[in-house]
Structure 1
């Protein structure tokens, strides 16, 4: 496949052609998150609480996979744009091997820590038991997650977004179908409760990996995984982790944030912990599609940066920002107009619904302005500027929001947490604009991008 279309095709149709498959797959993934939680909620409120408490560690494992994948994507796209095919093949091969290693480590570490981790947030033995059962099964598939993400990012780096979309959609659809069958024991399937939800997730991930293997074998991408590229290459490995580590930390920061906010909210009522968990399920309908646009943008902006097409780099960023802001505006309207309906999908408890309505209306005030941070962070990752991207995420998920929430809860109670969200997004957007301009603006005048990677 000739990747030169990434610097020759008009920018807007190029972004749409690359992003649309990812937005569709992210929407299906969002639907899975909602459906999965919907069925788990039918088991009982303890089950959805357990799911909410497991989320930070589950997100951490996913962050390691996706974050390293972002580094893999950026390095491959950069070298392809610079015409360095062998370097791109070496990056793909080393990245694949490292992904296997990451999966083994993630499973070995995450499974044993779950019981003590859950005890930090609840004294309910039932919630702890449900959380341990769910997490043990889910984390057993960690190596599958890591390998799947390596394939996904390799396909994306060469512009094969449809292959990536097919893999993601297959896993989500299999999961959605199996969820009610395994949770409630429909037909010949055993009634497994929360264990069934975890197993459905794992089988969905295996389905994604199997499809990627078939697609890779049937039509190999222009970048290949081959043992002849396994020879040691410190420069390539450094680049993979130079972008991958900050990207992984970026994605892991919500785990720190959710754990911190759960600790604050639990001191008021378990209802607020449930509301926070439900919010994070609902917000995937906005941030995952927005992330789909950013995923479509990353290989394009990285390729053009490597090819020194600096005017196109700026145009790619601007168009992505407008598209992302449009999605966020839609989410704001939805949360203001139908908060009770959204929360009501996960609980029948009137107190939880009332608390959730108020939370959604307050939090949504920061949606549109967050598009600046989302776009800037994703663009910087695509340009190989992982540290600068990390600065933006630290502001959004730790440095501003956690202290703000701590102070505001002393004044406004649980509502202080919800207000901390929009305050953090507003401040972070200003910082993001400054960081992006400083990190990238001056570089776009240079004739060769290679020296900056």
Structure 2
């Protein structure tokens, strides 16, 4: 199904997605770098049963990555036309892509947390949880959103599907890490007693 008033609009929308993806990737690369840099520190300290350092490293990494994702989100909200203008000089493309950038990245501000949490689970040997979390954004939540929401909102439904799936994956990551940290705290208490 093509979403757009005309074939030209559909072609512009495909180009707009490429621009949005390129912009988001600038921040994703930084976030992934921080998250992957966290992994050996967390893995080593988890193996050494130094849970305090595990939690501290995770917290610092989350804070840095949240800051990066909030910067990406804020720039997209405040100056979408200027950002799109760095990739194209086509006025129709800028007119279509600027609001699309805002819609698509509406959930971007908390993605730093979700990605860091995914890498955290991987670094402590919980690869199934890590794989599950990494699939939630692009498959588990996004595909159903793309199949349902555009039927009601057209092209805007495609753009809105992304922040909805992003927020759903952030909420899921929050629930999973909260449960896991409670278990870690319980394990620490048992170790201290013994």
Report TM bin, short chain.
0.7 to 0.9
1:346 maps to what in 2?
Answer: 87
Pick closer, same or farther for the CA change 1:407–1:342 going to 2, 3 Å: same
Work out whether 1:424 is the aligned partner of 2:141. Answer: no
CA RMSD of the aligned region, Å? 2.1
- In structure 2, do the counterparts of structure 1 residues 320 and 265 end up closer, same or farther at CA, with 3 Å as the change threshold? farther
Matched with 2:75 is 334
Q: 1 CA distance for matches of 2:136 and 2:171?
A: 10
**Contact in 1 for aligned 2:2/2:10 (Cα 8 Å):** no
Q: Per the alignment, do residues 428 and 353 of structure 1 end up closer, same or farther by CA in structure 2, a change over 3 Å counting?
A: same
The answer to whether the aligner puts 1:360 opposite 2:105 as a matched pair is no
Q: Deviations over 1:390-411 (max 9, x none)?
A: 1212221111112112211111
Q: Counterpart of 2:45?
A: 304
Corresponding residue for 1:291?
32
Q: 1:320 to 1:420 in 2, by over 3 A?
A: same
Query: TM-score, length-normalised on structure 1?
Result: 0.39
What is the 5 A alignment of 1:256-271? 269-271=10-12
Instruction: Quote the Cα distance in structure 1 between the aligned partners of 2:92 and 2:157.
Output: 18
Aligned to 1:385: 126
- Misfit runs of 4+, over 4 Å: 263-268
Task: Using the TM superposition, give the Cα deviation of residue 416 of structure 1 relative to its aligned residue in structure 2, in angstroms.
Answer: 0.7
Query: Equivalents in 1 of 2:2, 2:119: separation in Å?
Result: 30
TM-score by length of 2: 0.87
Structure 2: segments with no counterpart, 5+ residues = none
Q: CA deviation at 1:415?
A: 0.9
Aligned 1:366-405 pairs, distance under 5 A: 366-405=107-146
Check conservation: 1:264, 1:406, Cα contact below 8 A: no
Q: Pairwise mapping of residues 113-128 of structure 1 onto structure 2 (< 5 A)?
A: none
Q: How many residues align?
A: 186
| Ranges in structure 1 where 5+ consecutive residues have no aligned partner | 1-262, 449-453
Deviation at 1:319, TM superposition (A): 1.5
Measured against aligned partners, the alpha-carbon deviations of 1:279-330 in whole angstroms (never above 9, x if no partner) come to: 1111122111111111211110011001110111111111111111111111
Considering only CA atoms, is the larger Rg found in Structure 1 or Structure 2?
Answer: 1
> 2: CA distance between counterparts of 1:373 and 1:390?
12
Q: Distance in 1 between matches of 2:139 and 2:176?
A: 17
- 1: CA distance between counterparts of 2:90 and 2:128? 43
